[in-house]
Structure 1
Amino acid sequence: MNKPAPAPRTAYRHFLPITTRWMDNDVYGHVNNVVYYSYFDTVVNEYLIRAGVLDVEHGATIGLVVETQCNYFAPLVFPERVEAGLRVVRLGSTSVRYEVGLFKDGEAQPAAQGHFVHVYVDRATRRPVALPRELRAALELLVVDADAA
């Protein structure tokens, strides 16, 4: 398996500062790998909520994660501030591929980068649905050509 080259900070459209917590570190002295996925969830959902396109309690359409991956390039540790960069590299009719870069405060290259894919479904039936117009518009602001970035 080939590890992808890290995408620089300039390849991302939206950023969220995240403060690491003492409990994020593991016994090896760095942020545990499962916490990185929590950071991914945090930046995506923060963006969607602030854009007004995600109602976590009552929204008729919800995103279910169907695929995830993370590549690690350098350790993150408490008490560092992390800046999570967000972009969309594929916007389908019912799904979205988000990519996230986790940067040490002010660094140009990510300590880690990864992706997850949301399939948007009806909350009640859990069957795929077309992306609502408002959601698509908010996501289009994040779209980049990953090959050109």
Structure 2
Amino acid sequence: MNSESSVQPPQRKLQHTSQIAVRWGDMDFYGHVNNTVYFRFFEQARVEWIESEGFIVSPQSDSGAVIINASCTFLLPVSYPATVIIKVFAGEPGRSSVMTWYELYVEGDERLYAEGAAKVVWTDPRTGKSAPIPETLRAKVS
């Protein structure tokens, strides 16, 4: 048995789907969406997911989510005009963190245009330290 066949993919569960319009200014010199904008798409979908679970995403919140790393694999270029569909997935939560994954599609097209990941850590903004993931959110991602 080789090592590739023994590696199990992480368990992940669809949490949220967002639709975001591509703006003309999202494109770069080459006529496709700039690579940095994909991270903004993932961020917006993540914020919408967290807010849909009843949490306020604001500097004045008692606690909230930050990311400690992010990645993206660009598979196909996206160009204006388009609406992107972002699917947000989450894995099994730890005490204060949860892995999230993202799939980016263009509305009307079944092909996967990009995929990404980010580790989300729940924090206390007053101390800047990690905090336990709220039980209501933990129940949704478990």
Give your verdict on TM over 0.5: yes
Corresponding position of 1:48: 50
Which has the larger displacement, 72-81 or 104-113? 104-113
Corresponding position of 1:118: 120
CA distance in structure 1 between the partners assigned to 2:119 and 2:92 by the alignment:
9
Contact 1:24/1:32 (CA < 8 Å) preserved in 2? yes
Q: Which has the larger radius of gyration?
A: 2
CA distance in structure 2 between the partners assigned to 1:12 and 1:133 by the alignment:
18
Corresponding position of 1:84: 86
* Structure 1 gap segments, 5+ residues each: 1-10, 141-149
Contact 1:53/1:135 (CA < 8 Å) preserved in 2? no
Counterpart secondary structure, 2:112? coil
Counterpart secondary structure, 1:68? strand
Identity %: 27
Alignment of 1:5-24 (within 5 A): 12-24=14-26
Give the 3 Å change call, closer, same or farther, for CA 67–73 of structure 1 in structure 2. Answer: same
CA distance in structure 1 between the partners assigned to 2:62 and 2:83 by the alignment:
35
1:47, CA displacement in angstroms?
A: 1.2
Give the alignment's TM-score, normalised by structure 1: 0.80
Matched, 1:127 2:97: no
Contact 1:90/1:98 (CA < 8 Å) preserved in 2? no
CA distance in structure 2 between the partners assigned to 1:38 and 1:68 by the alignment:
11
CA distance in structure 2 between the partners assigned to 1:20 and 1:123 by the alignment:
32
1:10-57 deviations in whole A, cap 9, x for unaligned?
A: x84421111000000000000000000000000010111122123424
- Picking from 8, 20, 28, the partner of 1:26 is 28
* Aligned residue pairs, count: 130
1:37-88 deviations in whole A, cap 9, x for unaligned?
A: 0000000101111221234243211222111100011001111110001110
Q: Which amino acid aligns with 1:40?
A: F
Runs of 4+ in 1 over 2 A off after TM superposition: 11-14, 106-109, 137-140
CA distance in structure 1 between the partners assigned to 2:124 and 2:50 by the alignment:
17
Give the alignment's TM-score, normalised by structure 2: 0.84
* Structure 2 gap segments, 5+ residues each: 1-12
1:129, CA displacement in angstroms?
A: 1.1
